[in-house]
Amino acid sequence: MRVLSGIQPTGRFHWGNYFGAIRQYIRLQDQADEAFYFIANLHALTTVRDRAQLAQWTLDAAIDLLALGLNPERATLFVQSDVPEVSELCWLLMTCTPMGLLERCHAYKDKRARGLTADAGLFTYPVLMAADILVYDSDLVPVGEDQVQHVEVCRDLAGSFNHQFGETFVLPKANVLETSARVPGIDGGKMSKSYDNTLDVFEDPKQQRKKIMRIVTDSRPMEQPKEPQIDHLYQLYSLFVDEAKREEMAALYRRGGFGYGEVKKALADAAEQFFAESRQRRRQLESEPERVREILAGGAARARKKAAEVLQRARVNCGVGW
């Protein structure tokens, strides 16, 4: 089984990125026969237009992933744009993609509904994502719930290409990531950079603690019992602790007689302890940028070898591979 997934470098990773995706990447690298993970800088061009910022965020993403436990000896880590085969395959797929299929994709529809400018990059985003998946003969694609539609589009395009030109692509399956839609932000909504409600994985602990202590809570009296499962502070705290500590905190909520400041302090302590080793590894990696670039270059070489094989198969089958 070959696993493939990508993550955009559109800012520093937050708790939602880690618990919604990155943690599962790290688990799957030890369960799959092969794991390919890429930093999707071509996709990021639809929103990031500052070249220095995009380059820095791409390097930061690599450092963060390695610090959080992605092992380059178990998984292939690379930058999307370092595999040009994916762009050529994207064009081959584009020539067979119905406009109506892309017009129904929610990312494009949502942006248009909000009155925002939707460029061709956003409109054809699902085709590039399909090329990302198909070019490595991927079997399993870990995605959040909001990306399942794009994997279905990928399967449709692969099936159509196979029907027209003969068996070319493996049809992948989506693996919906646990907690992908259940990591609340500091406002109680889904944690997202778009909503400016994030807590970053490698944020300065002192600054993060201040941010946590400013989280707005309800105005119920201290003595009133509270249901933990519907409280976003409890939901965040639960991400970092074991079952025994979750039950202990839940009992405190149901008993009442506590202040939210007590929970905020426990959350800040738990988060700082949880990421302490990763933070230490990140400091080491940050001091060795050339080592990180070597890892990315090695990953890109492995990825290109597989991508070239699949691309040539597609080129020959559709008639452009002389």
Model pLDDT for residues 34-87, shown as the tens digit of each residue: 999 999 999 999 989 999 999 999 999 999 999 999 999 999 999 999 999 999
Are residue 238 and residue 262 in the same domain, yes or no? yes
For residue 177, the 8-state DSSP code is P
Identify whether the C-beta of residue 70 lies closer than 8 Å to the C-beta of residue 113: no
Q: What are phi and psi of 222, to 5 degrees?
A: -60, -40
> Does residue 192 lie within any of the structural domains?
no
> Does residue 115 lie within any of the structural domains?
yes
Residue 306 among the catalytic residues: no
Residue stretches of the chain with pLDDT short of 70: 116, 178-181
CA-CA distance, 264 to 173, in Å (whole number)? 39
**CATH code: domain of residue 312:** 3.40.50.620
The one catalytic residue in 109, 173, 193, 245 is 193
Host domain of residue 173:
2-183+289-318
Q: How many domains does the chain have?
A: 2
Are residue 175 and residue 26 in the same domain, yes or no? yes
The one catalytic residue in 190, 211, 245, 265 is 190
Are residue 15 and residue 41 in the same domain, yes or no? yes
Residue 245 among the catalytic residues: no
Are residue 76 and residue 176 in the same domain, yes or no? yes
Are residue 39 and residue 130 in the same domain, yes or no? yes
Are residue 293 and residue 260 in the same domain, yes or no? no
> Does residue 279 lie within any of the structural domains?
no
Identify whether the C-beta of residue 7 lies closer than 8 Å to the C-beta of residue 41: no
Residue 111 among the catalytic residues: yes
Are residue 104 and residue 253 in the same domain, yes or no? no
CA-CA distance, 214 to 270, in Å (whole number)? 17
Reduced to 3 states (helix: H, G, I; strand: E, B; else coil), residue 213 is: helix
Are residue 125 and residue 250 in the same domain, yes or no? no
- Residue 53: predicted pLDDT: 98
> Does residue 281 lie within any of the structural domains?
no
Are residue 294 and residue 228 in the same domain, yes or no? no
> Does residue 280 lie within any of the structural domains?
no
For the chain, list the strands marked E by DSSP.
Answer: 2-7, 34-39, 76-79, 140-143, 173-176
Looking at the DSSP bridge assignments, the partners of residue 77 are 37
Comparing CA positions, the residue from 29, 21, 13 lying closest to residue 176 is 21
Structure tokens at 187: 């406002």
Are residue 138 and residue 36 in the same domain, yes or no? yes
Are residue 149 and residue 266 in the same domain, yes or no? no
> Does residue 35 lie within any of the structural domains?
yes
> Does residue 189 lie within any of the structural domains?
no
CA-CA distance, 22 to 36, in Å (whole number)? 13
> Does residue 193 lie within any of the structural domains?
no
Are residue 135 and residue 251 in the same domain, yes or no? no
**CATH code: domain of residue 245:** 1.10.240.10
The one catalytic residue in 109, 111, 206, 306 is 111
99 vs 96, 121, 141, 169, CA distance in Å?
10, 14, 24, 21
- Residue 136: predicted pLDDT: 98
